[in-house]
Structures are given as C-alpha cells and as structure tokens.
C-alpha cells in the first residue's frame, strides 16, 4: 500500500472536523514547501549588485575592506 493510499484510508475513517484539521495542516506544509523552493529575486536597486562581478575593473581596489563604503554611500 502506498503512503497516499494509507493516508486516505485513515483520513476517511476520521470525523469531518478532524479531516478539516488535516487539510489545514497539509495546506500549511504545502505553502511552506512552496516558499522554500521559490527563488527570490534581488531588487534591482540592491547596492551590492553595483559592484558587479569585476570590482577591480570598476576601480574598486579595496572592496573587501571597505565594502560598507561602496554599499551604503552613493556617487550622486
């Protein structure tokens, strides 16, 4: 017997009130699983993206030491 069949068999034996609780919990787990597996995109205004993949080419020679300066200050 598969897990699904076993769960359904036991679910059908429960009163409707308990079936609703199981449905609620299942929906909670499903939502949690979906959120965990959904990739979140970074906002376009994320300051770290301004450093690019080649900070030396952008004239940033000390990004590791002074990263806060490049992230939290603006040129404008």
Model pLDDT, residue 72: 78
Cα gap 11→3, rounded to integer Å = 12
Q: What digits encode the pLDDT tens for the residues 11-64?
A: 999 999 999 999 999 999 999 988 877 766 656 666 666 665 555 566 666 666
Per-residue confidence (pLDDT) for residue 26, from 0 to 100: 94
**Which residue matches tokens 């036991």?**
10
Delimit the domains of the chain by residue range: 3-37, 42-76
Distance CA 19, CA 53 (A): 52
pTM: 0.47
Task: Specify the pLDDT at position 42.
Answer: 59
Q: How confident is the model at residue 76 (pLDDT cuts 50, 70, 90)?
A: low
- What are 43's two structure tokens? 């906002």
Q: What pLDDT sits at residue 35?
A: 81
């Amino acid at each position: 017997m598969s897990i699904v069949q076993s769960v359904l068999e036991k679910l059908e034996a429960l009163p409707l009130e308990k079936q609703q609780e199981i449905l609620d919990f299942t929906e909670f787990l499903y939502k949690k699983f979906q959120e965990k597996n959904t990739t979140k995109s970074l906002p376009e205004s994320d300051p770290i993206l301004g450093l690019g993949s080649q900070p030396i080419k952008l004239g940033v020679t000390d990004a590791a030491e002074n990263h806060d300066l490049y992230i939290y200050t603006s040129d404008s």
